[in-house]
Amino acid sequence: MSKKKRTCINYDCTNESYLAGYCKKHYQEYIFNQERRDSTIRTLRSYSINDSPLTNENLRKELDQLCEWWSRICSVLNNNRGTELMPLDEAEFAKEWCITLAQKIIDDEIAFRSGKQIDNSYDLNYERLWNRFKNLEKGLTSTGVERKIKR
């Protein structure tokens, strides 16, 4: 009886497992996504892309605002203690919103640096994420519902 070969853990992929449970193709995608995430977090910590400040003024302002949120979120998560602007129950989710928004800002800045025209009209998902932060500033939940417990 032959031993059954393991298949890729990626949904609906039947290729043979290569590393970390992924096939070769999906493993390369996984590594790319991890490197992109790490680079984005470095940008959120440093207010710059690869040690270079943003050249587009609108994107720089947006990144500055996002980095302030990132700092609040990290403080809440590190201390396991929420604030009025960043309740503990929202912080883990807000961390992912920051990363998603920062990746869009980085992509737009790279496009701007290469001379491409960037589209300043945001997609719906992007606008929804910024609205979550706006709701938190108003003292609401990120979805816009009034908080029953004030922190």
Question: What is the three-class DSSP state of 53?
Answer: coil
pLDDT single digits (tens) 44-53: 999 999 889 9
Per-residue model confidence (pLDDT) at position 124: 72
**Residue 121's pLDDT is what?**
60
Residues lower than pLDDT 50 in the chain:
151
- Residue 21: partners with Cβ closer than 8 Å, 6 or more residues away: 6, 8, 9
Mean pLDDT of the chain: 90
pLDDT digit string (tens) for 7-38? 999 889 999 999 989 999 999 999 999 999 99
Indicate yes or no: pTM above 0.75: yes
